[in-house]
Structure 1
Amino acid sequence: MKVKGVRFLLIGIECSRNKGTAAILKSTVQTLKNYFENALFKAVTPWPNRDKLNCKGIEFSDDLLSKLRLFKIRKESDDFDIVIDLHGDTISEDYGILTVFGFFYNIVSYKLLAKKAYVIYAQSLGPFNNPISRLLAKFCLNKVDLLIIREKITENYLKMLGIRNYFLGADPAFLLKTASKENIKEILKNEDIRASQGSIIGINVSQHIYDLLKDAGRHMDYIMMNAKLIDKLIETYDVNILLIPHVLNNVHDDYSIAKKVYSKIKNKNLVNVIEGDYTPEEVKGIIGLCDLFIGARMHAVIASTSQCIPSVGIAYSHKMHGIIGELLGLDEYIIDIDDLNYDILHEKTMKAWENRERIKKHLEKVIPEVKRKALKNGELVRELCDSLKIT
């Protein structure tokens, strides 16, 4: 029996220029719709006016808490029944200890003051190395009504905190739909990319990786190693290259990094940079054209592997290792940012290319189970609402 009329507040997300977080939001809403009739969805984002243009059927508002209306939250909470936290991987010291304080603020506001059911929905959590962040994380995680994680490395962090009440699910973006072939053909036409008989290798370069390497003085190495790899792939295999941005905003703009890489490539005639700003479904469809994919954004790699495309991932945190490496069984094709250089990038890419048929068959076996786990997330939320009589 489906629950009717539940009002969901979705936090920790945006739905415009970050295709990964947009994929999480859209897939979560679609999954919950499978279990809840007439459900209403409100997403709290920094840019509601922009986001509502990209995600139809979802109401958007600015952050209830960003205006320091903490002690008005109980009155303002009449508009929703349950909070779905979609922060993904930011409840962690990887982004600084302030993100853990942000989680504490959300728990105090929505759970303790507003007294609403609170769900951590398929996230990667940790690490929590600082004693204060460990204390806050343990306090907050023990307050949530439902804790769903998406990989086993997070499970180890939870065990270190003494947290036992959790479920191991999967990232909702594995369920993201793909734009139609006709839509993708129109995009290629608008991008002035001609259909080719040759193989296509897609590459997603990331400004976040670039910025992390910049702190170590290695940012130009990142540009040059990708340009060198592209020339090597073209000269060795006569392939076409698509540079596919996955985040397009002022802070982390993959497009600008793709253009930097493009400027250093010798064989530009076989390389195209995707110029437009497309929906996550459309970007997934573009990625679906590829015979091999190299991604520095985890959700770009989820877009490829969910279509059983052999992939190489660049990891800056444990989420890539836990999801693409361990859950999908592709750990030998993951490169940690601390180890990243041209030689290892070249080695992993060539190995993936040579083994691409074997990798594809492997993904065809494991992806259906991963998608079932992602659907289970919604079933767990339904069971929670039934137990709390949220209707």
Structure 2
Amino acid sequence: MSRNKHIFIIGSCSPALGNWEHQLGNAAILIGLLTSIHKYLPDAIVTTKYQLSKGFSDTYRIQSLYVEPTKGFRAYRILITLYNLSLSIIWFFFWKILRLDIKFLRSTRLLNTYSNADIIIDLSGDTYGDNIPFKNFVKHSLELITARFLEKPIVSLANSPGPFSGKFKKFIARITFNNISLITTREPISADLLRSIGVKTPIVTTACPAFLLEPVQEYKLKEILQKEGIEEEYKPTVGFTLGGYNLYSKPTWDIPESLEDLQLYVPVLKFLLEELHAQVVLIPHVYRMDPYSGQMIQGPDYTILKSLSRIISKDVEYKNLKIIEGTYSPQEVKGLIGKMDLYITGRLHAGVAALSQCVPTVLLSYGHKHLGFAKLLNQEKYVWEPSMGPDGLLTIVKQIWENKEKVTEELHKRVPLIKKLAELNVKILKDILDLDKELRICLPNKLLDNWKSNIYKKVSGKVC
């Protein structure tokens, strides 16, 4: 009997406990991916360097492994990365030239985990590039190269890498990506970006696994709406989400130093409240983890949205302006977002929660991924760039509201196809794991052609 397939998930995101759970977008990606893996690879053993709570790990059948220190001196962690790389190069020499497997050369925690894996998934989202410090970018690049020296297939799965500023960073990215087996991007703009810097590794455009997340059951959702004072029958109801990266003067993943940029969003909220007479629901999409209890608590999104609420209500108290006070699971928040008649969001995966339920959505962009996701769904005209200013945002919101029936109809056509693309990520993994080991690193052209033409051709009419 063949042994269970081992899948190891790494990435350039922070591996700290809670990062993949309190950030609901990350959680939606991981839950969607794991659900799909266990559907198509039911016997697979999935491990990750990302630290997850026991409850999450048990629910979604994934095990966190401690393969490197997450604290301590920066130089020490870099030295460990270089040490692992050196050992893998020496092991590669003995294996390639002399066909000797010197096991003690791959006995560190990370190298042993790499060695036991049948395939390594790089799940970095949009962090591999300019969105992380340069030292983290280099460190993750070296970790991927290390896995390659151990003769392991590596798939960059459903990410939006880049941009890469400067020739040196482009050079590192090109070397790294050209030493892995396959890249799937979750939108087409990232695929074009990688090709533009000279990446030759095969690229297949799929879609984000977060599209596969199912919302909570209706009866539980009704309880949440009642608890939060949201009137379910109120029409229209508009959802609104912001994160620190939508305050463009000093963008941050956390709470910005200044909240002055919130003035950008005042005109559109006043339009919704005063002219559309909408029930506006401010919905946080990123929490924090209480270090003592391990429970989710409100995070930067709540602080930003609460400040926006105070600005809007400075002169007039709007009874139809609500903010979600509780913390909820990704499925619960997705169900809540699905009740909106219109959604405006700077958090991309809050937008995925809306779009995947065919809710007309305006994306507030801070990177190329927003436009890329919109292109998959033929929604490019409803992506707002900060250069457009508050008047541009107001124009887009008025336009999408006027065309909401057509937008909803288009989404009903596109979303089922996009979900098939999201599932394609794991079908690709299964096809690779079904190959003989020696074929998993340099994949057969026939397999590549099949992936590129099978589903994606149906979705867009072209091969990416």
Provide the TM-score with structure 1 as the length reference: 0.90
- 1:188 paired residue among 206, 217, 225: 225
- Other-structure match for 1:332: 381
Aligned residues of 2:145 and 2:179 also touching (Cα < 8 A): no
Code of the residue aligned with 1:175 in structure 2: it is L
Superposition deviation, residue 388 in structure 1:
3.8
Q: 1:244 aligns with which of 252, 262, 283?
A: 283
Conserved 8 A contact 1:4-1:37: no
Q: Deviations over 1:297-329 (max 9, x none)?
A: 1111111111111010111110001112x2111
Residue correspondence of structure 1 range 115-130 to structure 2 within 5 A: 115-130=151-166
User: Secondary structure at the residue paired with 1:88?
Assistant: coil
Aligned to 2:38: 33
In 1, Cα distance between equivalents of 2:436 and 2:166: 35
Aligned to 2:243: 206
- Residue 84 (structure 1) aligns with: 121
SS at match of 1:139: helix
Which of 366, 371, 374 aligns to 2:414? It is 366
Q: Point out the more displaced range, 283-292 or 126-135.
A: 126-135
**Aligned residue type for 2:306:** K
Kindly state the Cα deviation for residue 102 of structure 1 after the two structures are TM-superposed: 3.1
> Which of 55, 59, 62 is residue 58 of structure 1 equivalent to?
62
Pairing 1:142–2:192 present: no
Residue identity (%): 27
Partner residue in 1 for 2:349:
299
Q: 1:356 aligns with which of 401, 404, 416?
A: 404
Structure 1 residues 150, 76: closer, same or farther in 2, change over 3 A? closer
Tell me which moved more, 154-163 or 174-183: 154-163
How many Å apart are 1:220 and its aligned residue?
Answer: 4.0
1:110 pairs with 2:147: yes
Map of 1:280 onto structure 2: 330
Partner-residue secondary structure (3-state), 2:288: coil
Moved more, 245-254 or 295-304: 245-254
Between structure 1 and structure 2, the one with the greater Rg is 2
Aligned to 1:270: 320
Deviating more after overlay: 72-81 vs 133-142: 72-81
- Show CA shifts across 1:141-176 (max 9, x none): 111122111222212222223223111111111111
Letter in 2 for 1:159: R
1:88-111 deviation per Cα after TM superposition (whole angstroms, max 9, x unaligned)? 111112434334313312213333
Which residue does 2:369 correspond to in 1? Answer: 319
Q: Distance in 2 between matches of 1:61 and 1:50?
A: 12
Residue 258 of structure 1 is matched in structure 2 by 305
For residues 4 and 372 of structure 1, the distance between their equivalents in structure 2, rounded to whole angstroms, comes to: 28
User: CA 1:319–1:111 in 2, change beyond 3 Å: closer, same or farther?
Assistant: same
Match of 2:9 in 1: 10
Q: Secondary structure at the match of 1:48?
A: coil
Deviation at 1:63, TM superposition (A): 5.2
CA distance in 2, matches of 1:201, 1:231: 12
Which ranges of structure 2 fall in alignment gaps of 5 or more residues?
A: 14-18, 72-76, 85-107, 290-297, 441-464
Q: State the distance in 2 between where 1:54 and 1:20 align.
A: 20
Does 1:23 find its partner at 2:59?
Answer: no
1:4 is displaced (CA, Å) by: 6.7
What is the aligned partner in structure 2 of residue 158 from structure 1? 194
Structure 1 residue 57, shift from structure 2 partner: 2.6
Contact 1:201 1:242 in 2 (8 A): yes
**Cross-structure match for 2:168:** 132
1:50 deviates by 7.3
Q: How has the CA–CA distance of structure 1 residues 231 and 281 changed in structure 2, closer, same or farther, with 3 Å as cutoff? A: same
**CA positional deviation for 1:295:** 0.7
Cross-structure match for 2:450? none
Matched, 1:290 2:353: no
Q: CA deviation at 1:78?
A: 5.2
Tell me the amino acid that sits aligned with residue 134 of structure 2.
I
For each residue in 1:332-357, what CA deviation from the matched residue of structure 2 results, as whole angstroms up to 9, or x when unmatched? 11111333x32112111111111111
Pair 53,147 (structure 1): closer, same or farther in 2 beyond 3 Å? closer
Aligned residues: 384
1:174 to 205, 211, 220: 211
278-287 or 189-198: bigger deviation: 189-198
- What secondary structure does 1:383 align onto? helix
Once residues 413 and 143 of structure 2 are traced to their aligned partners in structure 1, the CA distance between those partners, rounded to angstroms, is 39
- Which segment drifts farther, 3-12 or 24-33? 3-12
Amino acid at match of 2:250: K
Identify the range of structure 1 (13-22 vs 362-371) with the bigger mean alpha-carbon deviation.
13-22
8 Å contact 2:267–2:394 — kept in the other structure? no
8 Å Cα contact 2:118-2:433 kept in structure 1: no
CA distance in 1, matches of 2:384, 2:335: 25
SS at match of 1:137: helix
The answer on whether the counterparts of 1:90 and 1:99 sit within 8 Å (CA) in structure 2 is: no
Query: What secondary structure is seen at the aligned counterpart in 2 of 1:177?
Result: coil
| Contact 1:103/1:140, CA 8 A, preserved across alignment | no
Task: Specify every segment of 5 or more residues in structure 1 that has no aligned partner in the other structure, as ranges.
Answer: none
| Counterpart AA for 2:270 | D
CA RMSD of aligned residues (A): 2.7
What is the alpha-carbon distance in structure 2 between the residues aligned to residue 252 and residue 111 of structure 1?
38
**Match of residue 43, structure 1, among 45, 48, 71:** 48
Distance 1:233 1:4 in 2: 57
